[in-house]
């Protein structure tokens, strides 16, 4: 079978095997693979694409127009993720990626057997009440202070403006005010350029803090069942996406569908249902996402959850 100009086993078409060359043994390929529900759409037989970004524990590829993030187990579950105990050779942007007979190939290296893959999707949002949400936010407030929230935009999730706001937090203020207007249903007054637009692309990192915060807000709105508010927020964001990078854009698009990192869903759900122990477990996982990305995203979720409690 020809795929991307090569045989299904990765050899050039018409090329005879060199002495000792064999098709890869499936037992040497990672078979315990988890894929996110959005990544799963890309991993069809004969799908092909290329590596577009390479990092220490992961790489991004675009396959038939769909972005995926392939990473080792420590990156955690997510909608775009392909996770396993992978071993890959030195990679470069532009390396070919393809799926042949349920095997994910990176260049000439068979990486994963997808035949028995499990598909990750976030669990349904829990039942909640005013009382459970209040208990959950009290559990958050007991730890959401000090060094934990000293960097990025995590401090804005505390429900009050910090007295000694960092330059990054001060730069986010117009966008945070616009976000509150959208949550209140006054989105016609949320100026896109100087308002919400000040969050898009704000901050350093692969996914900037402002983008992470908006993504967390979108996911919390979906968890609460506030789909109209989520869609209104996304409508404002869509026109502003040129202000950030490709990778951050695809994570924001996933968040607009209600999908994000497993740890973020766990933290939002535990807060809604008032499960303090569940929140503490989720917080540990959140702090491992990027430098501040997990905490920035949860700060956006907290803005939404606090607004929901005030409305009750």
The first and second tokens of residue 272, run together, are: 């809604």
Spatial neighbors of 164 by CB under 8 A, at least 6 apart, are: none
Query: How confident is the model over 252-278, as a mean pLDDT?
Result: 98
Q: What is the dihedral of CA 68, 86, 205, 197, to 10 degrees?
A: 20
More confident residue, 233 or 27: 233
Q: 150: how many CB neighbours lie within 10 A of its CB? A: 13
Q: Is pLDDT at 15 greater than 50 in this prediction?
A: no
Mean pLDDT, the chain, as a whole number? 89
Element housing 16 (H / E): none
The first and second tokens of residue 265, run together, are: 């869903």
14 pLDDT tier (thresholds 50, 70, 90): very low
186 pLDDT tier (thresholds 50, 70, 90): confident
Least confident piece of the model among 6-10, 172-176, 184-188, 209-213: 6-10
Spatial neighbors of 299 by CB under 8 A, at least 6 apart, are: 149, 152, 153, 154, 155, 156, 157, 213, 216
Q: Is pLDDT at 7 greater than 50 in this prediction?
A: no
Spatial neighbors of 189 by CB under 8 A, at least 6 apart, are: 181
Q: What are the sequence ranges of the domains in the chain?
A: 2-120, 130-311
What pLDDT digit, counting tens, does each position of 77-128 carry?
Answer: 999 999 999 988 899 999 999 999 999 999 999 999 999 999 999 999 999 9
Q: Distance between CA atoms of 166 and 163, rounded to whole angstroms?
A: 9
Q: Are 218 and 230 in contact (CB under 8 A)?
A: yes
Query: How confident is the model over 196-225, as a mean pLDDT?
Result: 96
Q: Is pLDDT at 43 greater than 80 in this prediction?
A: yes
């Amino acid at each position: 079978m020809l795929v991307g100009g090569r045989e299904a086993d990765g050899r050039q078409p018409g090329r005879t095997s060199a002495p000792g060359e064999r098709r890869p043994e499936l037992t040497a390929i990672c078979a315990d693979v988890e894929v996110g529900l959005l990544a799963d759409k890309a991993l069809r037989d004969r799908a092909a694409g290329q590596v577009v970004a390479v990092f220490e524990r992961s790489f991004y590829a675009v396959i038939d127009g769909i972005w995926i993030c392939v990473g080792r187990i420590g990156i955690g579950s997510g909608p775009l993720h392909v996770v396993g105990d992978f071993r890959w050779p030195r990679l470069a942007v532009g390396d070919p990626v393809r799926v042949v007979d349920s095997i994910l190939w990176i260049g000439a290296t068979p990486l994963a057997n997808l035949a028995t893959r499990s598909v990750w999707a976030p669990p349904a949002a829990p039942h909640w009440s005013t009382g459970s949400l209040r208990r959950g936010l009290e559990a958050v407030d007991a730890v959401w202070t000090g060094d934990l929230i000293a960097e990025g935009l995590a401090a804005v999730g505390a429900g009050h403006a910090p007295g000694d706001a960092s330059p990054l937090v001060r730069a986010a203020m117009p966008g945070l005010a616009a976000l509150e207007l959208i949550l209140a249903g006054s989105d016609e007054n949320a100026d896109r350029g100087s308002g919400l637009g000040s969050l898009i692309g704000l901050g350093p990192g692969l996914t900037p803090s402002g983008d992470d915060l908006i993504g967390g807000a979108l996911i919390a709105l979906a968890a609460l069942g506030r789909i109209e508010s989520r869609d209104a927020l996304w409508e404002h964001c869509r026109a502003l996406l040129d202000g950030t990078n490709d990778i951050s854009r695809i994570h924001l698009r996933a968040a607009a569908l209600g999908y994000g990192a497993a740890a973020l869903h766990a933290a939002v759900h535990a807060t809604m249902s008032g499960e303090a122990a569940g929140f503490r477990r989720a917080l540990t996982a959140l702090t491992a996402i990027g430098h501040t990305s997990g905490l920035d995203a949860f700060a956006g979720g907290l803005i939404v959850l606090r607004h929901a409690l005030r409305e009750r």
